[in-house]
Amino acid sequence: MTEDLKTLYRELGYAGPLDESIPRGPQPNELPPLDQPGLSRLEERMREQPEVFFDSFRQHYHYPFTDEKIRDILAELRKAFDHPAAYVKKLRSKRATRMRGKKEFPVQLILYPDIDVDPANHQFEPLGDALGWVVNSGYYFIRDPLGITYPKAKFRWHHEFPSRFKYEMKDRQGRPVAPEQKLSIALFGDFGTGAYHSLYIAGNIAARRPDYAIHLGDVYYSGRFFEFENFFSKPLAPVIKDSHFFALNANHEMLSGAIPYFDAIDERRQPKPGWVAQEQEGSYCCIWSKKYQIIGIDTAYEGDGRHSRPEVNAWLRECLEAGKSASPPRINILLSQNEPYGLGENQFSQLYNDLNEIIQKNLIDFWFWGNVHYCALFDKSSRAPFIGSCIGHAGHPIYKKYVEKNERMHRQQVRRGSEIPAASWVDLSPKFPADTGLRKDLANHGFCVLELERDAMKLIYYDWLKNEAQHERTFAI
């Protein structure tokens, strides 16, 4: 591989190993970046089956690209591969122009001087980083037409472990939690980008020293080893050191077969002096006390947004029913990467259908999810008899206009009698304070803290930048 091509890959966000040539098939245990032969196959698919190709492209990248825009993206990538040195020069010139147009970031908003807050950085944005997304995940997109089978981690079943993936809730000192003891749980989703706002969120969570911190999934672009190390494990080390930590599996982890994901679990379990002992063994878990249960499920391994394996559904039902049959009954808090429904959507998801029998038995009290990039709190409805919340806003960039559009659509659908629950709060705030004039097109980032008490459960949604509460709500228990 030429040095010019290597530089192009770096400019497009690929930070993994670059050997003498990009392999035509998979690298050991992770997804390779797209190369010229892979791009040719994408172009071929576009010519042969344009409607199928464009629809699957939009679905894969979760963005409403027009057909023409998709053609432009592939044409631009072809130019980049054909003339890498010239294209790198073009990219750097474009970024330099962005930098000249950037206002100075206000000193009073800097929480962590060692983190460079760079509003001109467009990495991971669906539009601003379209070529980066295709290069970093394109081979997974065309794996089936190419007949490529990528390595996949062995699934870990609860019955293979003495714990059965059920863990008694403990404080940071490892003592079982008493009913009267207050406990804090930090929840955050779609964190793994290594972007400055993600790093701020990691610092903010660490500063709060929660008893538990739980990631709802997604390490970008494709859940590779170096992405886990640099975008996840290193930034979260201060959190993992001081809190019981769990992480759910997600669709981007599955792009590398969840092998780096499970390796990261095993690495966290290695004892370290002065670090909180970590218990997670598999990709789902039940963390219980005499008052509460937090149950995380894997909605990625068997298919994006699916939970239909009878054995795992039986385990989930067993946990939920045990919680409700306890004396007194426990509050069941469900966590997943994927959503039962979405903001602006007028139908329930495949995941909802997989769990419909459990849902209709009123076994779930609260449900938190990520995957879709916004933050909102939902009321109950007859078909969704639980308080729901989407918190997929810790890392992936968010275009503000789409959140606003979906919020308007949601209100209209609820007024028309939709069975989807009403949203009691949607975070429509900008990423940066309005008076800074910075990136007005982007929506906010943050995380959620659950404060579990004897007679109440409080939800607090925090802002990434000022580390201030955006919204609070308390539920009597």
Residue with token string 């494990």: 233
> In degrees rounded to 5, what are phi and psi of residue 292?
-135, 155
Q: Mean of the pLDDT values across residues 136-144?
A: 86
DSSP H/E element including 50? helix 50-61
Q: What is the pTM of this model?
A: 0.95
Q: Is the pLDDT of residue 104 over 80?
A: no
Kindly report, residue by residue over 403-432, the tens digit of the pLDDT: 999 999 999 999 999 999 999 999 999 999
Q: Is the pLDDT of residue 32 over 90?
A: no
Kindly report, residue by residue over 57-80, the tens digit of the pLDDT: 998 888 999 999 999 999 999 999
Closest to 275 measured CA to CA, from 238, 229, 235: 238
Whole-angstrom distance, CA of residue 30 vs CA of residue 257 = 7
Q: Mean of the pLDDT values across residues 367-372?
A: 97
The confidence band for 386, taking pLDDT boundaries of 50, 70 and 90, is very high
Q: Is the pLDDT of residue 24 over 90?
A: no
Domain boundaries, the chain: 3-146, 158-476
Q: Is the pLDDT of residue 464 over 60?
A: yes
Kindly report, residue by residue over 274-306, the tens digit of the pLDDT: 999 999 999 999 999 999 999 999 999 999 999
Structure tokens at 3: 């040095």
- Which pLDDT score, from 0 to 100, does residue 105 have? 83
Closest to 342 measured CA to CA, from 388, 289, 297, 404: 388
Q: Is the pLDDT of residue 345 over 80?
A: yes
Query: What CATH number matches the domain at 158-476, 3.40.50.300, 3.40.50.720, 2.60.40.10, 3.60.21.10?
Result: 3.60.21.10
- Which pLDDT score, from 0 to 100, does residue 99 have? 55
* Per-residue CA distances from 21 to 9, 13, 39, 111, 276 (Å): 12, 17, 15, 42, 42
Kindly report, residue by residue over 257-279, the tens digit of the pLDDT: 999 999 999 999 999 999 999 99
